[in-house]
């Protein structure tokens, strides 16, 4: 196990320490740490088509509270490398997450959004690598229309953008609930310059045909994985999400009866970006009681024992 260099031990979380881990097939996974290695770890897994930078604001907040926050780019995303053959599959992503989870000295708590949450469910069901799960606006079965809307946006610009302003305008149309456009600095983290001067998204376009196309085939296996979860679990959903719904949430809570659910008002599927302060507060309320549980939290627990863990249902705050 290779530890990230201890350069931020003074707990100045504004700048992360970047390193990489190599998967079994040679793909290099970009990893960034905020906070001190000696702090209890949180592992953040982003959604399909995103990068580790989606977690930067949350990671800084939680690192300042004394958590070691590890954010990573999934294979084919961000600064992680692509497969030469373009043959991606769901199992590769699960294996990568297991590798990342075994990186710190302690079992981490997973914070996984969308695809990252689904990968976390399977990784925990098959390898028991996390001591708790935070799933962000995702359930084993999802609303097809919401996912199709996201995939349509991802397919909409196959030739990239002429400028950062063009990309900002496209994102603003896709996320009309956001009050401000993304800054040039944030946009540069999402885009890669092409030889012709245009800008494309920072992920391998072959993922759309290899992963997105087959995602619904995974749903039964994901439901079965959820039924095997025994660690403390929190589901955070957006009140205006079109990816999860009352029925998919109820199905998930039936599979994981000890799980807690928080609904964030005024948030869509993009909970973290829409209402980051509220999101970070919900995560903090869930993970703080787990801070000192240490190795005791590593053992499988019964649903009855887990029902007593603190949690807060903010569903009444939804609008």
How confident is the model over 6-39, as pLDDT tens digits? Answer: 433 333 345 678 899 999 999 999 999 999 999 9
By C-alpha distance, which of 113, 110, 62, 136 is closest to 284? 62
Cβ-based neighbours of 74, under 8 Å, separated by 6 or more: 29, 45, 46, 80, 93, 96, 115, 116
What is the spatial distance between Cα 54 and Cα 182, in angstroms, rounded to a whole number?
Answer: 12
CATH, range 17-158+205-317: 3.40.50.1820
> What per-residue confidence (pLDDT) applies to 14?
52
| Residues 16/71, Cβ–Cβ less than 8 Å | yes
> What per-residue confidence (pLDDT) applies to 190?
87
pLDDT higher than 60, residue 298:
no
> What per-residue confidence (pLDDT) applies to 209?
87
What is the spatial distance between Cα 168 and Cα 99, in angstroms, rounded to a whole number?
Answer: 34
> What per-residue confidence (pLDDT) applies to 294?
55
- State residue 205 phi and psi, 5-degree precision: -60, -20
pLDDT higher than 60, residue 313:
no
> What per-residue confidence (pLDDT) applies to 297?
40
What is the spatial distance between Cα 19 and Cα 3, in angstroms, rounded to a whole number?
Answer: 9
Q: In which region does residue 119 sit, left (phi positive, over 0), alpha (psi from -120 to 50) or beta (all else)?
A: alpha
User: Which has the higher per-residue pLDDT, 213 or 49?
Assistant: 49
Measure the CA angle with vertex 120, ends 242 and 265; round to 5°.
35
| Residues 283/289, Cβ–Cβ less than 8 Å | no
Q: Which of 96-110, 201-215, 220-234 has the lowest mean pLDDT?
A: 201-215
Percent of the chain with pLDDT over 90: 72
> What per-residue confidence (pLDDT) applies to 15?
61
> What per-residue confidence (pLDDT) applies to 13?
44
pLDDT higher than 80, residue 82:
yes
Q: From the centroid of its chain, how far is CA 204?
A: 18
Res. 319 pLDDT band, cuts 50 70 90: very low
pLDDT higher than 70, residue 317:
no
Cβ-based neighbours of 258, under 8 Å, separated by 6 or more: 232, 233, 303, 304, 305, 306, 307, 309
> What per-residue confidence (pLDDT) applies to 277?
95
The DSSP-derived string for 41-91 is EEEEE--TT--GGGGHHHHHHHHHTT-EEEEEPPTTBTTSPPPTT----HH
Q: In which region does residue 142 sit, left (phi positive, over 0), alpha (psi from -120 to 50) or beta (all else)?
A: beta
> What per-residue confidence (pLDDT) applies to 30?
96
Neighbours of 237 (CB within 10 A): 28
What is the spatial distance between Cα 284 and Cα 63, in angstroms, rounded to a whole number?
Answer: 11
Cα→Cα distances 102→97, 99, 195, 294, Å: 9, 5, 38, 15
Q: What is the pTM of this model?
A: 0.86
pLDDT tens digits, 274-294: 999 999 999 999 999 999 875
What is the spatial distance between Cα 114 and Cα 121, in angstroms, rounded to a whole number?
Answer: 11
Cα→Cα distances 303→13, 136, 260, 309, 312, Å: 35, 21, 12, 10, 18
Cα→Cα distances 138→8, 79, 301, Å: 32, 25, 23
| Long-range CB contacts for residues 253-257, cutoff 8 Å, separation at least 24 | 255/140, 255/223, 255/226, 255/227, 255/229, 256/226, 256/227, 256/229, 256/303, 257/303, 257/307
Tracing tokens 């939804």 back to the chain, one arrives at: 318
């Amino acid at each position: 196990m290779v530890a990230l260099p201890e350069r931020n031990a003074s707990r100045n979380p504004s700048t992360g320490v970047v390193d990489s881990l190599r998967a079994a097939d040679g793909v290099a996974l970009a990893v960034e740490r905020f906070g001190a290695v000696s702090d209890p770890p949180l592992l953040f897994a982003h959604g399909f088509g995103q990068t580790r930078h989606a977690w930067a604001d949350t990671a800084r907040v939680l690192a300042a509270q004394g958590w070691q926050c590890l954010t990573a780019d999934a294979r084919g995303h961000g600064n992680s490398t692509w497969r030469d053959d373009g043959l991606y599959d769901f199992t590769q992503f699960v294996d990568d997450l297991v590798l990342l989870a075994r990186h710190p000295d302690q079992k981490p708590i997973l914070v996984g959004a969308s695809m990252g949450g689904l990968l976390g469910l399977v990784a925990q069901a098959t390898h028991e690598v996390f001591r708790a799960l935070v799933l962000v606006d995702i359930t084993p079965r999802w609303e097809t229309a919401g996912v199709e809307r996201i995939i349509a946006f991802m397919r909409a610009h196959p030739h990239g953008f002429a400028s950062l302003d063009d990309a900002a305008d496209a994102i603003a149309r896709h996320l009309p609930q956001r009050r401000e456009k993304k800054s040039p600095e944030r946009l540069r983290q999402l885009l890669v310059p092409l030889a012709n001067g245009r800008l494309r998204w920072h992920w391998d376009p072959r993922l759309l045909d290899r992963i997105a196309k087959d995602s619904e085939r995974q749903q039964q296996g994901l439901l079965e994985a959820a039924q095997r979860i025994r660690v403390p679990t929190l589901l955070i959903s957006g009140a205006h999400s079109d990816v999860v719904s009352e029925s998919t949430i109820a199905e998930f809570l039936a599979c994981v009866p000890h799980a807690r659910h928080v609904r964030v008002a005024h948030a869509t599927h993009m909970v973290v970006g829409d209402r980051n302060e509220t999101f970070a507060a919900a995560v903090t309320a869930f993970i703080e009681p787990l801070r000192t549980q240490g190795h005791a939290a590593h053992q499988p627990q019964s649903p009855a024992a887990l029902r007593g863990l603190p949690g807060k249902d903010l569903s009444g705050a939804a609008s």
